[in-house]
Amino acid sequence: MHGPAALQLTPDGRLKHLLTTEGLPKSLITELLDTAETFLSSQGQPVKKVPLLRGKTVVNLFFENSTRTRTTFDIAAHRLSADVVTLDIRTSSASKGETLFDTLKNLEAMQADLFVVRHSAGGAPFFIADRVTPNIAVINAGDGTHAHPTQALLDLMTIRKHKGDPANLSVAIIGDLKHSRVARSLIHGLRGMGCPDIRAIGPGTLLPSDLGHLGVHTFHNIDDGLRDVDVVVLLRLQKERMTSALLPSEREFFNLYGMTESRLALAKDNAIVMHPGPINRGVEIANEVADGPQAVILDQVTNGIAIRMAVMAMTLSTQQGGHS
């Protein structure tokens, strides 16, 4: 093994850290999804907690703002009975000039067992995973425009739950793929699961140039790209793309690429619509679609808790030398 795989997997192929979906074998992705399914079934119980991580300390290291990702990691850790510490970087020593490495070493000295890291710099979670003591697990909760593996896994879980094995499906991803860590991680995850038809739909300014190398088919016309797909994944359009002249306006984007009922009708009759959130109504998606029967956006949120429980359970099981 080399690269990310060498860092996040043990020599015998178990999950040591979760940093990226790139190179994750199908068997391991399937194990994560299956484990999450078992946790999902417990969420309907009156007592949702399981004692799996009792006595363990999970530290949320969010160097970048987040609401739903941080909250779902928080809930997931509590449901596994872990102790949770959320570090507000804006008021921590890091804001006073302490280096990432020094922050890390101080947290290690506090006997943390798992770091959940979100950082605006691509590669920061890899830097941390490469330098932590061997008994600490690291989960990437989003780094720059690079990766967001738990989002990709919850998306795969949602797809599998509603549409079956991704190896039999056509998936369209619409919007700003160029700056989206969600899209990048999902593409790697879909490839790992053997998805035969991945489509990228958007203006040339918002599509990466290397998509062909990943086996992704590119469409600039949304009608052409949507025909007969099983899954439609919409990406959040970030306001800063407007000011950087990559797009003329939100209205123009909606006219060209917004998901409307008539456009959705081009996909298969039972196609599902997904969005990592938060959604911009009237920009990426019309109200009728967002609130319609084919949208599974709230399911994604529910599945996110179960996936993050599974990732925590499996990485810490590996760090303890046990088998998940």
What is the residue whose two structure tokens read 């922050």?
103
Burial readout 2-40 (b: 16 or more C-beta within 10 A, e: otherwise):
eebeebbbeeeebbbbbbbbbbbeeebbebbbebbbebb
Residues 308, 316: Cα–Cα separation, whole Å = 12
Q: Which residues are designated catalytic?
A: 68-69, 96, 118, 148
Angle ∠(260,216,263) on CA atoms, nearest 5: 10
The side-by-side arrangement of strands in the sheet containing 114-119 is 83-88, 57-62, 114-119, 137-143
Helices (H), 193-321: 222-226, 240-243, 250-257, 261-264, 287-290, 297-319
Type of residue numbered 227 = R
The reply to whether omega before 149 is within 30° of 0 (cis) is no
Which residue(s) pair with 58 in the sheet? 84, 114
Type of residue numbered 113 = D
| 272 and 163 Cβ atoms separated by less than 8 Å | yes
CA 21 to chain centre: 9
| 251 and 302 Cβ atoms separated by less than 8 Å | no
